[in-house]
Amino acid sequence: MPRCWFVFLFLSFILLLATAEASQCSIRGIPLVRNISELPQDDYGRGGLSHITVAGSVSHGMKEIEVWLQTFSPGSRTPIHRHSCEEVFVVLKGSGTLYLASSSHEKYPGKPQEHFIFPNSTFHIPVNDAHQVWNTNENEDLQVLVIISRPPVKVFIYEDWSVPHTAAKLKFPYYWDEQCLQAPVKDEL
Amino acid sequence: MPRCWFVFLFLSFILLLATAEASQCSIRGIPLVRNISELPQDDYGRGGLSHITVAGSVSHGMKEIEVWLQTFSPGSRTPIHRHSCEEVFVVLKGSGTLYLASSSHEKYPGKPQEHFIFPNSTFHIPVNDAHQVWNTNENEDLQVLVIISRPPVKVFIYEDWSVPHTAAKLKFPYYWDEQCLQAPVKDEL
Ligand SMILES: [Zn+2]
Ligand SMILES: [Zn+2]
């Protein structure tokens, strides 16, 4: 009965896929001590980015802090964005520019201030200030450790610095949380 | 009038001391981007430790996350302790042992599990579990980046693993917060 075998194989294949998907989005069975170089790494559709969630809400069950290791190739950058959580950067390698508009009380971000960031430097982003981190060094990758509070992160993205705060677009779940996190109904935000 | 000059000089000196003290404990005027190697570093009376508050509640006005860079010389270690905040470690250099007693529901920590920690590894401590990080590598410093939530940290210290949870001693403010943080009245804890 070749047809029966085909159905069996097909169902087994579906089951296998479902299991694989579930385990990727489950925090069960992850080891306590993890090798960062063995953790999933992806650009999540953003050219020039390498993102690793070192300790995360969706991936490791963190409730109050989340840690990322990100590498930006020369010229690559975050979107212009804001969030209502705290965020700390530690620059491990390379250099670049932090653009920061301390304007949460104005109508739109406006021209940002430029800050040079360099190896072994640290900075934090004031809550709700629009900002962008840019690898403006043509010769070297920029590697940062990023720490945020209140994960998973809810990000408002600006097309440019003159977009009104009220028109910034919510991106939630954020790129690396999309696979395992469903968008909640609006009330939950 | 030499006496008058003496009084003037004495008062100036007192004023200078007061200003220096105030500026060490003030978050005003700290630059947005800071060079970590220029930040205050101390052992805070704990031999073999080098502690730097990279981004802190007391020193930088953080409200939800705090970041430390700590180096443990061979043989040095944290006390056995617990806290009700989340804590993430990223091992930058060296290796050692994490001792962890997952026993917050028992009367005392008991014999801890031993976990090998190594360069580029990460781990987080379950809330309220007693733990200790120990540089058990005789040949190399252990350097870690530590992230905690809900700063400033309130730590309960155990003399050994058989001390009942209820007898662990609260250390607050913690070593590096002592200089600028007064112990609050008990209700505030
Ligand atoms: Zn950000
Ligand atoms: Zn701890």
pLDDT at A6: 62
pLDDT at A41: 97
Q: Smallest Cβ distance to B33: which of A86, A116, A150? A: A116
pLDDT per residue as tens digits for the range B37-53: 999 999 999 999 999 99
Instruction: Determine the residue among A37, A65, A71, A136 to mutate to test chain B binding: the one whose Cβ has the most chain B Cβ atoms within 10 Å.
Output: A65
In DSSP terms, B163 is beta-bridged to: none
Quick check: A88 and B55 CB within 8 A? yes
Q: Is B102 on the interface with A (CB under 8 A)?
A: no
SS3 B98: strand
Query: Rounded to a whole number, what is the distance in Å from the CA of B5 to chain A's nearest CA?
Result: 45
pLDDT per residue as tens digits for the range A2-15: 566 666 665 555 55
pLDDT at A25: 80
Max Cα–Cα distance, chain A, nearest Å:
72
Q: Is A143 on the interface with B (CB under 8 A)?
A: no
Asked if B48 and B94 touch (Cβ cutoff 8 Å), the reply is: no
In DSSP terms, B147 is beta-bridged to: B67, B88
Quick check: A36 and B121 CB within 8 A? yes
| Gap between the Cα atoms of A121 and B34, Å rounded | 5
pLDDT per residue as tens digits for the range B68-114: 999 999 999 999 999 999 999 999 999 999 999 987 678 999 999 99
| Gap between the Cα atoms of A128 and A154, Å rounded | 11
CB atoms within 10 A of CB B122: 23
pLDDT at B129: 97
Tally DSSP H helices, then E strands, for chain B. 2, 12
pLDDT at A2: 57
pLDDT at B19: 47
Report the pLDDT averaged over residues A38-51. 97
pLDDT at B186: 57
Residue B20's pLDDT band, with cuts at 50, 70 and 90, is: very low
Q: Smallest Cβ distance to A86: which of B65, B122, B145? A: B65
